[in-house]
Amino acid sequence: MTNKTTSVLLAGAAVGGLLATAAPAAAETSLTIVSWGGAYTESQVRAYHEPYMEKNPDITILNDDGSANALAGLRAQAQAGNVTWDLVDMLPSDAQLACEEGLILPIDHDAMLAAAPDGTPASEDFLPGSLGDCFIPQIVYSTVMTFNTEMFPEDKQPASIADFFDTENFPGRRAIQDRPAANLEWALYADGVAIDEIYDVLRTPEGVDRAFAKLDTIKDDLIFWTEGSQAPQLLADKEVSFATGYNGRMFTAAEVEGQPFKIIWDGQIVEWDGWVVPAGGNNVDAVMDYLYFATDSQRLADQAKFISYGPARASSADLVSTHADLGIDMNPHMPTHPDNYQTPIVLDNEFWTDYGDELRERFASWMLG
């Protein structure tokens, strides 16, 4: 372990006393790190896990692809009094709920995380609005529409969210995630709501009804996916002509695997993704040492060598270079590249913290109806 972690943990001892009572890392420690699987977990393995284990041979990292149900998993483990996850990759809206429920530890970002190379404190180096009381951002990513170019004529390729909802001119089945976030925003956008008014409309019962009514227009053509790896697979197998999915997964399928995919950047849903530390875990010392390493400027830039997600620290931006295997410039594939960032919808985490449970329940019923 680095000696920096000792001071980090001492500085964090005020965090509810939880760090002070956590069991110290054993001579050999296994960390169960929960993430999203597929190309995304692979990018974490290559950028974070493998270099960290090389520096710390007493640590073994086990991957668990449970992030799609992270909030439910944390609640269940806390209720059972048996916390088996050491570190969880989680969406910020779910992280806020978990934080409020005491399921995850609060984070003193400047005390627990590395400063930028020029000495800028972590709290000032992470991108504005990305940090949470219990949340450490890792990437900027987007959920995008993608289509299989072989399923449409060359002279009639879709180019917008409106085209996704146009089954007459752009036929075929569509795959969307089995959760309301992104889908409700896109429904309103396709129905003519201005981007800067989407969440104002969604905060009204009439707006929610309007979003579901728009989704009803394509419901007969929908397939639902849960895990991020399912979306590009459905598209590659031509079970669907369109699929929503994470831009990094679609990049990997198109550029690394050679699939005939094209991303529609119109209306991309931009958000953060990052780490939370479960309360009551047995390896908090080791986890905090790992986080100090894995969230520094170089490591976040290194992840962009493997997948097209932007690093969440300002000091990492100039460190982003080429893909580790393909040698291509990664910057044009980032969701924040100017050519791609013309009509973004920035996910409102406060909205989803306030209304998420209610809308998830309604969306689940709608899928079954």
More confident residue, 18 or 180: 180
Taking the domains of the chain in order of start, what are their residue ranges? 3-139+272-319, 141-271+334-368
pLDDT at 220 over 60: yes
- 109 close to 291: Cβ distance less than 8 angstroms: no
pLDDT at 27 over 80: no
Average the pLDDT over 216-224 and give the result: 98
pLDDT at 5 over 60: no
pLDDT at 4 over 50: no
Q: What is the reported pLDDT for 26?
A: 47
Task: Please tell me the pTM assigned to this model.
Answer: 0.78
Average the pLDDT over 104-116 and give the result: 97
Q: What is the reported pLDDT for 10?
A: 32
Average the pLDDT over 279-288 and give the result: 96
CATH 3.30.9.10 fits 3-139+272-319, yes or no: no
Q: What is the reported pLDDT for 318?
A: 87
What tokens appear for 299 in the block? 């490591």
Cβ within 8 Å of residue 208, ≥6 positions away: 184, 202, 359, 362
Cβ within 8 Å of residue 158, ≥6 positions away: 145, 147, 152, 164, 166, 170, 242, 264
Q: What is the reported pLDDT for 128?
A: 86
> pLDDT > 70: what percent of the chain?
93
Q: What is the reported pLDDT for 133?
A: 96
Q: Considering the domain 141-271+334-368, what is its CATH architecture?
A: 3-Layer(aba) Sandwich (3.40)
pLDDT band at residue 84 using 50, 70 and 90 as cut-offs: very high
Average the pLDDT over 28-57 and give the result: 96
Q: What is the reported pLDDT for 336?
A: 85
> pLDDT > 90: what percent of the chain?
86
Core vs surface per residue 149-162: b (16+ CB within 10 A) or e? bebbeeeeebebbb
Q: What is the reported pLDDT for 369?
A: 87
More confident residue, 251 or 19: 251
Neighbours of 258 (CB within 10 A): 9
Q: What is the reported pLDDT for 246?
A: 93
Q: What is the reported pLDDT for 2?
A: 38
pLDDT at 300 over 80: yes
Q: What is the reported pLDDT for 317?
A: 86
pLDDT in tens, 167-195: 999 999 999 999 999 999 999 999 999 99
Q: What is the reported pLDDT for 69?
A: 92
Q: What is the reported pLDDT for 39?
A: 87
- Min mean pLDDT across 9-18, 88-97, 131-140 is at 9-18
pLDDT in tens, 251-261: 999 999 999 99
Q: Matching CATH topology for 3-139+272-319 and 141-271+334-368?
A: yes
Q: Mean pLDDT, the chain, as a whole number?
A: 92
pLDDT band at residue 337 using 50, 70 and 90 as cut-offs: confident
Q: Which candidate, 269, 252, 270, places its Cα nearest to that of 261?
A: 252
